[in-house]
Amino acid sequence: MTQCDVLIVEDSTAQCLEMAEFLRRANLSVETAFDAAAALSAAAKFEPRVMLLDFNLPDMNGVQLAEALRALLPSAAILIMSGRIDGLSEETLQALGITMFVNKPVPLGPLRQAVVKLVEASSRGGPAPKPKGWLSTGTGGTRR
């Protein structure tokens, strides 16, 4: 089994591949999946340190997928990204141990900075990163 740095789960193939290529330029190993079923398979195979999940997937939503992935990989960082956040509360994110929420369109520069930091922290071992808030302009914070 080969561990990867990042698993991107995004049903828009173009967006998924664009993000993957952008993160690979930071010397990260990246795997991709276009639905939740493929994500679960890839996570079991590659044990990613950081998982970047689209909230709106064809076979389940990002919260449901995050629950399944958290059970599989308790120490991984999980980021959820979406343009729509209806019904997604800070409490839900914290209960699932979601490290960060990323607003779409995804700010690639700040995203790469955040992912690199999370991968570096994971490489040192230890528990899953604590929730950091929302990434919209490159700063983490709460949605207030």
Per-residue confidence (pLDDT) for residue 124, from 0 to 100? 72
Per-residue confidence (pLDDT) for residue 11, from 0 to 100? 95
- Read off the DSSP letter of residue 45: H
Tokens linked to 26:
């930071």
Contact 50, 91 (CB under 8 A): no
Residue 50: φ, ψ to 5°:
-130, 135
Of 63, 52, 57, 39, the residue nearest 111 (C-alpha): 52
Q: In a 3-state reduction of DSSP, which class is residue 58?
A: coil
Per-residue confidence (pLDDT) for residue 143, from 0 to 100? 37
Q: What is the mean pLDDT of the chain?
A: 85
The model's pTM is 0.86
Per-residue confidence (pLDDT) for residue 144, from 0 to 100? 33
Q: In b/e form, how buried is each residue of 71-93, taking b as 16+ CB within 10 angstroms?
A: eebeebbbbbbbeeeeebeeeeb
Per-residue confidence (pLDDT) for residue 9, from 0 to 100? 98
Q: Which residues of the chain have pLDDT under 50?
A: 137-144
Q: Which residues pair with 30 in a beta bridge?
A: 6
Residue 78: φ, ψ to 5°:
-120, 125
Per-residue confidence (pLDDT) for residue 82, from 0 to 100? 85
Per-residue confidence (pLDDT) for residue 104, from 0 to 100? 87
In this structure, CATH architecture of domain 6-135: 3-Layer(aba) Sandwich (3.40)
Dist. CA 115–CA 136, nearest whole Å: 14
